[in-house]
């Protein structure tokens, strides 16, 4: 059974499943989901835990041995299998399928893994785990989900944030869930439970935002010019190389050219998104971009990319980061003034 992370808590209140498979590229949320399974298992008498960490050269026979061994101290136990890469290999895939098809009694297999590729999520070993127990795929929170997550975490600590406080904290720690929890804990220690407004956030919370070039591209596709400027400033401050930023924008624009031409040729936007295998979480953003950008406009943006490349290499005029700001704002559908310079928004 596949469920969302927020559905895991209610599922743990009854009889526990023999298998829990938790996968994703958000380490904090994967860890918290696994901790919830362990805590509930302990509460139901699963007192013994054996940890198996899959590293190069790992002997998958250890899983079969763990499943077949008898405990001298506890009738109930957890096999805690860590699969960091999310790739068990052929031998591991067979071992996991075999376990899922013959789960031992009084034993829970908890598997935590890194992000799985789409093909891996459809593999026979994942399907076998799905049939045997519960599968949780943890996706990164997007910009719309993040404020609600921040509000919920603050309330768990007894804090009562205003809408402005939530928005400011979300902005300060965007993309860094661990930093957000640390700042919430600091707020709790400094002022205790009770109301929190934007002024308190300003006074107590450091700017712990963490961005990457793909976050920038998504902000541009979504038409959020202010966020684009803030992310670019964050990328420069974190020492990200300008060519890496340009690469991400060029990569997206090349695909947008083909998709925009297909839409102009009479294909529906949903059909184009499906044909180009746009990930479900990005369909809305890409659809917004296709609604305002023609193939001709995308080609003009690619020519702008060439100018940015010359500026980066010192063969053209302009500051590379100013040029990247202009380019990103144009992709976002914001009119960029010729004299615009790269600066952090107020």
> Distance of CA 247 to CAs 74, 217, 250, Å?
55, 11, 5
Strands (E), 224-329: none
Q: What is the 3-state secondary structure (H, E, C) of 202-235?
A: HHHCCCCCCCCHHHHHHHHHCCCHHHHHHHHHHH
As a dihedral over the C-alpha atoms of residue 119, residue 121, residue 127, residue 133, rounded to 10 degrees, the angle is 170
Q: Which of 219, 245, 234, 235 is nearest to 311 (CA)?
A: 245
Global pTM reads 0.60
Question: What is the architecture, at CATH level 2, of domain 146-204?
Answer: Orthogonal Bundle (1.10)
* Per-residue CA distances from 189 to 172, 177, 192, 204 (Å): 19, 18, 6, 11
| Torsion angle (degrees, nearest 10) of CA 173, 177, 180, 184 | 160
pLDDT, block means (10 residues), the chain with 346 residues: 89 92 90 94 90 91 83 76 91 94 92 90 94 92 86 93 90 79 86 88 70 86 90 87 92 92 92 85 89 92 94 88 93 69 46
| Domain over 2-138 is classified CATH 3.40.50.300 | yes
**Residue 199 confidence (pLDDT):** 85
The pLDDT of residue 336: 55
Going from the C-alpha of 239 to that of each of 175, 211, 212, 245, the distances in angstroms are: 17, 11, 11, 11
CA distance 262 to 264: 5
Query: Which fold, 213-331?
Result: Zinc Finger, Delta Prime; domain 3 (1.20.272)
Report the pLDDT value the prediction gives residue 33, as an integer from 0 to 100. Answer: 94
Residue 270 has φ and ψ, to the nearest 5°, of -60, -40
How many beta carbons lie within 10 A of that of residue 174, not counting itself?
25
Q: Which residues contact 253 (CB under 8 A, 6 or more apart)?
A: 298, 301, 302, 305, 331
Q: What is the DSSP string of 327-345?
A: HHHHHTTPPPPTT------
CA 165 to chain centre: 23
Tokens, residue 345: 């928004």
Instruction: Copy the structure tokens of residue 223.
Output: 């038409």
d(CA 56, CA 288): 44
Q: What are phi and psi of 82, to 5 degrees?
A: -100, 125
Residues 133, 131: Cα–Cα separation, whole Å: 6
Boundaries of every domain in the chain: 2-138, 146-204, 213-331
> What does each C-alpha distance from 101 to 11, 94, 129, 187, 223 come to in angstroms?
21, 11, 8, 48, 48
Separation CA 202–CA 157 (nearest Å): 19
> What pLDDT is attached to residue 73?
57
Per-residue pLDDT at 316: 82
The residue behind tokens 């992370």 is 5
- Residue 70: its H or E element: none
Q: Rounded to an integer, what distance in angstroms lies between the CA atom of residue 22 and that of residue 137? A: 6
pLDDT tens for 197-221 read: 988 888 777 656 667 788 899 999 9
């Amino acid at each position: 059974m596949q469920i969302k992370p927020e559905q895991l808590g209610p599922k743990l209140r009854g009889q526990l499943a023999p298998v829990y498979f938790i996968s994703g590229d958000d380490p904090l949320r994967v860890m918290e989901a696994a901790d919830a399974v362990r805590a509930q298992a302990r509460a139901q008498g699963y007192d013994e835990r054996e940890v198996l960490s899959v590293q190069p050269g790992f002997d998958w026979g250890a899983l079969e041995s763990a499943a077949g061994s008898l405990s001298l101290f506890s009738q109930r136990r957890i096999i805690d299998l860590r699969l960091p890469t999310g790739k068990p290999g052929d031998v591991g895939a067979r071992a996991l399928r075999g376990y899922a098809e013959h789960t031992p009694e009084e034993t829970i297999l908890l598997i935590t893994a890194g992000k799985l590729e789409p093909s891996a999520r459809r593999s026979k070993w994942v399907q076998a785990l799905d049939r045997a127990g519960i599968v949780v795929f943890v996706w990164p929170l997007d910009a719309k989900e993040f404020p609600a997550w921040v509000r919920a975490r603050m309330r768990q600590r007894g804090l009562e944030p205003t809408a402005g406080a939530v928005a400011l904290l979300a902005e300060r720690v965007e993309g860094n869930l661990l930093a957000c929890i640390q700042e919430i804990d600091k707020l709790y220690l400094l002022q205790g439970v009770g109301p929190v407004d934007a002024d308190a956030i300003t006074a107590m919370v450091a700017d712990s935002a963490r961005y990457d070039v793909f976050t920038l591209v998504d902000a541009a596709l979504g038409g959020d010019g202010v966020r684009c400027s803030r992310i670019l400033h964050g990328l420069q401050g974190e020492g990200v190389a300008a060519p890496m930023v340009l690469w991400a924008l060029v990569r997206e624009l090349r695909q947008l050219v083909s998709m925009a031409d297909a839409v102009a040729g009479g294909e529906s936007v949903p059909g184009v998104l499906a044909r180009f295998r746009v990930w479900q979480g990005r369909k809305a953003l890409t659809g917004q971009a296709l609604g305002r950008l023609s193939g001709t406009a995308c080609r003009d943006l690619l020519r702008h990319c060439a100018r940015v490349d010359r500026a980066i290499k010192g063969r053209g005029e302009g500051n590379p980061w100013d040029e990247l700001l202009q380019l990103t704002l144009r992709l976002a559908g914001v009119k960029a003034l010729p004299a615009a310079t790269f600066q952090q928004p107020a």
